[in-house]
């Protein structure tokens, strides 16, 4: 509450009709009176034990003067306060009494007189962040919002307001901001239980320029509040609803009917939203609706059929945890042939995704380029290969916890993807096992540039050898968490690569040795920029020597928890004139000691980040000397 904090006046806050005492305001005694009152009050001080007969003439005069202004009707007080010229006077007036607070916060921007205060005028093109406010936790209170509203109502106002995790912000605070900041374009309410159908309609009534609305965990907001937004905010382009248990189908119907510019809609974990709401929204939605994200809803096959038929402008579709949708729903969505512009598809934990429905999507969504399937256990190798054959434009494929997929499915996708697949990611797919293939059965995927195989325990040397034949033009390789991989599996992939590896992540590949790192440095050192060997315990100083000799473009090196010693650091430092190393991590290397001080200082010519955390042989004194010498480098110790 910067305004109130900077301008706390000399009056005390009392109930309406109370006196104005000439003492310093104690904001610490302001108490919240609940949602019904919507204001704060100042507990009255103890009455002085002085007989009225001994009151001085001066005191009587003061009382008379105080009563003279307090007996003014609200209309007169309104006319006085609307003419206050500066933010300072506004905020001081806000602290005088409950009555003054109510009058000030009830004013609209148009009701204030014009002001020539240059310090308060903001340009419409102001991009310095002064028109954006993010309030979190205890800082997000009604008093903060009141101060914000009063302090901004002579300006062009806020453009973006975010309130997160607050039980002290209510309808009254949000309403005050809405009346004063009619230029508001983005409003985000996360876990704000006391803002509901009194505050949100006020925003809709005053902020007709609103474009983005994000409501998450707002139990007091009902369909009524959202309908008012739909009817009064025709510029709404982005709407996100998450865990709002009182928002139902009628709200989405209004959004589809009254918001012709809607581009993105997210509905997550709203139990009252069903087929009627989603189908009404999609069928009557604006022609520019391009992004749809549905999660944890009770919709059925009917909604997916409507999406497949009416979603002609949808480019991104995310479906997650739709337990009532069956295979038929996904099959109909594909065969409806309405998703002409679909580019990105993500499906998570939907039992309706099977071989049959996936193939139908592949045949009908001809523009699809990015596909992400998570926890879809009913997809097998046959369905995945049929899907990839039917699509001629697939560029990115991500599979996570799809345990029905094996190595034959992966090799089949690479061999039949049409030569456009650029990125393949496999994460925790436990069904993958090494299989032997004939060379004649494998057709290289020359377009693949990035391959990520993480935490797939069945993926071993045989699988890597197959990938080496199938992916000769890789530039980015991530094999983190493949514990069973040895030099024999990784070497063919390195030796067959023609494009030149740029980034390599081998985190926790425990069985790799210096031999494979030497080959990597020798064969791919001309292009290698990032190398992560974190947790490769058998990697020693020999690997650092090989990198120092061959990897001239290496800028990020992580050898944490490896068998690195001071000698390895010294070999890197001897090549510091050829190297351009910017980030070095030797965390957990107990053999790196104070003796590496000089070497690290040499490397500090180009270093921007150094991680020596867990290097127990480096003392605090050495760390301090490094901090003083490498002043431009961030050091973790």
Asked if the model's pLDDT at residue 546 lies above 90, the reply is yes
Phi and psi at residue 525, to the nearest 5°: -65, -25
Per-residue pLDDT, 187? 96
Least confident of 76-90, 385-399, 485-499: 76-90
Tell which wins on pLDDT, 116 or 476: 476
Least confident of 30-39, 241-250, 272-281, 441-450: 30-39
110 falls in which pLDDT band (50, 70, 90)?
low
Least confident of 86-90, 499-503, 595-599: 86-90
Instruction: Indicate the Cα dihedral angle 219, 223, 225, 231, nearest 10°.
Output: 160
Cβ neighbours of 123 (radius 10 Å): 10
Per-residue pLDDT, 52? 40
Query: What Å distances lie between residue 33 and 39, 127, 482, 542, 579, CA to CA?
Result: 6, 37, 59, 70, 65
Nearest in space to 496 (alpha carbons), one of 520, 516, 472: 472
DSSP 511-558: T--HHHHHHHHHHHTTT--EEE-TT-TT-BHHHHHHHHHH-TT--EEE
**Average pLDDT for residues 340-353, to the nearest whole number?**
95
Query: What Å distances lie between residue 507 and 80, 527, 544, CA to CA?
Result: 69, 20, 16
- 377: burial class by Cβ within 10 Å (0-12, 13-18, 19+)? middle
458 falls in which pLDDT band (50, 70, 90)?
confident
Asked if the model's pLDDT at residue 75 lies above 50, the reply is yes
Per-residue pLDDT, 117? 40
Per-residue pLDDT, 80? 65
CA separation for the pair 507, 482 (Å, rounded)? 8
What the block records as the tokens of 244 is: 């709002």
CA separation for the pair 352, 322 (Å, rounded)? 9
Buried b (16+ CB within 10 A) or exposed e, 295-334: bbbbbbbbbbbbbbbbbebbbbbbbbebebbbbebbbbbb
pLDDT per residue as tens digits for the range 39-54: 444 444 444 433 444 3
CA separation for the pair 440, 435 (Å, rounded)? 15
Per-residue pLDDT, 625? 93
Phi and psi at residue 186, to the nearest 5°: -140, 130
What the block records as the tokens of 364 is: 């009908």
User: Who's near 172: CB < 8 A, 6+ residues apart?
Assistant: 35, 38, 39, 105, 142, 199
306 falls in which pLDDT band (50, 70, 90)?
very high
Nearest in space to 162 (alpha carbons), one of 152, 177, 147, 146: 177
Ranges of beta strands (E only) in 329-391 are: 344-348, 370-374
Asked if the model's pLDDT at residue 2 lies above 50, the reply is no
User: Who's near 480: CB < 8 A, 6+ residues apart?
Assistant: 454, 455, 505, 506, 507, 508, 509, 532
Nearest in space to 236 (alpha carbons), one of 277, 196, 285, 194: 285
Per-residue pLDDT, 6? 41
> Rg of the chain over CA atoms, in angstroms?
33
Contact (Cβ atoms closer than 8 angstroms) between residue 397 and residue 423: yes
Cβ neighbours of 167 (radius 10 Å): 14
pLDDT per residue as tens digits for the range 176-216: 888 888 889 999 999 999 999 999 999 999 899 999 999 99
By percentage, how much of the chain surpasses pLDDT 70?
Answer: 77
Q: Domain extents for the chain?
A: 2-45+56-114, 503-637
When the pLDDT of each residue in the chain is averaged and rounded to a whole number, the result is 83
CA separation for the pair 416, 257 (Å, rounded)? 44
Per-residue pLDDT, 139? 86
**Average pLDDT for residues 217-244, to the nearest whole number?**
96
444 falls in which pLDDT band (50, 70, 90)?
confident
119 falls in which pLDDT band (50, 70, 90)?
very low
Tell me the H-state helices in 420-501.
Answer: 461-470, 487-495
Give the residues across from 611 on adjacent strands.
Answer: 585, 636
User: Who's near 56: CB < 8 A, 6+ residues apart?
Assistant: none
Tell me yes or no: is domain 503-637 CATH 3.20.20.80: no
């Amino acid at each position: 509450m910067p305004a109130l904090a900077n301008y706390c006046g000399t009056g005390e806050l009392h109930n309406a009709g109370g006196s104005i005492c000439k003492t310093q305001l104690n904001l610490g005694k302001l108490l919240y009176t609940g949602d019904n009152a919507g204001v704060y009050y100042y507990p009255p001080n103890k009455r002085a034990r002085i007989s009225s007969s001994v009151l001085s003439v001066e005191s009587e005069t003061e009382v008379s003067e105080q009563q003279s202004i307090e007996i003014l009707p609200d209309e007169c007080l309104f006319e006085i306060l609307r003419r206050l010229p500066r933010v300072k006077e506004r905020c001081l007036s806000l602290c005088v009494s409950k009555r003054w607070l109510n009058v000030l916060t009830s004013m609209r921007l148009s009701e204030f007189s014009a002001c020539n205060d240059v310090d308060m005028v903001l340009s419409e093109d102001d991009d310095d962040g002064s028109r954006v406010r993010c309030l979190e936790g205890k800082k997000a209170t009604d008093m903060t919002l009141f101060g914000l509203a009063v302090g901004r109502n002579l300006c062009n106002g806020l453009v973006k307001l975010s309130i997160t995790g607050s039980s002290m912000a209510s309808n009254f605070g949000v309403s005050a901001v809405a009346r004063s900041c009619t230029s508001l374009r983005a409003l985000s309410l996360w876990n704000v239980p006391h803002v509901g159908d009194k505050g949100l309609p006020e925003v809709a009534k005053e902020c007709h320029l609103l474009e983005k609305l994000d409501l998450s965990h707002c139990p007091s907001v009902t369909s009524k509040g959202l309908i008012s937004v739909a009817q009064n905010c025709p510029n709404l382009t982005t709407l996100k609803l998450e865990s709002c248990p009182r928002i139902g189908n009628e709200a989405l119907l209004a959004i589809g009917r009254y918001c012709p510019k809607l581009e993105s809609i997210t509905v997550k974990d709203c139990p009252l939203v069903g087929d009627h709401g989603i189908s009404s929204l999609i069928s009557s939605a604006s022609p520019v609706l391009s992004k749809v994200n549905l999660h944890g809803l009770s919709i059925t096959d009917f909604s997916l059929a409507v999406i497949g038929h009416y979603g002609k402008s949808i480019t991104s579709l995310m479906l997650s945890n739709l337990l009532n949708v069956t295979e038929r729903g996904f099959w109909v969505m594909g065969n409806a042939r309405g998703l002409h512009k679909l580019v990105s598809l993500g499906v998570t934990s939907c039992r309706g995704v099977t071989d049959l429905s996936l193939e139908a999507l592949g045949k009908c969504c001809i523009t699809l380029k990015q596909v992400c399937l998570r926890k879809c256990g009913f997809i097998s190798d046959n369905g995945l290969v049929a899907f990839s054959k039917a699509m001629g434009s697939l560029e990115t494929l991500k599979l996570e916890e799809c345990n029905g997929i094996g190595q034959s499915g992966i090799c089949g996708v690479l061999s039949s993807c049409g030569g456009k697949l650029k990125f393949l990611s496999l994460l925790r797919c436990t069904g993958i096992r090494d299989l032997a293939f004939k060379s004649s059965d494998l057709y290289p995927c020359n377009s693949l540039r990035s391959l990520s195989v993480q935490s797939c325990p069945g993926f071993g040397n045989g699988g890597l050898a197959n990938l080496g034949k199938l992916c000769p033009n890789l530039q980015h390789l991530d094999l983190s968490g493949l514990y069973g991989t040895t030099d024999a599996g990784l070497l063919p992939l390195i030796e067959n690569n023609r494009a030149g590896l740029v980034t390599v992540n081998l985190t926790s590949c425990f069985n790799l040795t210096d031999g494979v790192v030497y080959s990597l440095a020798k064969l791919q050192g001309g292009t290698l920029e990032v190398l992560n060997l974190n947790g490769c315990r058998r990697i020693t100083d020999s690997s650092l020597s090989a990198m120092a000799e061959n990897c001239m473009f290496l800028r990020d090196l992580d050898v944490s928890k490896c068998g690195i010693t001071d000698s390895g650091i010294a070999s890197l430092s001897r090549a510091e004139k050829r190297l351009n190393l910017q980030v070095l991590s030797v965390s957990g290397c107990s053999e790196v000691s104070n003796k590496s001080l000089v070497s690290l200082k040499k490397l500090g010519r180009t270093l921007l980040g150094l991680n020596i955390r867990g290097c127990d042989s480096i003392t605090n004194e050495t760390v301090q000397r490094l901090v003083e010498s490498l002043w431009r480098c961030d050091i973790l110790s």
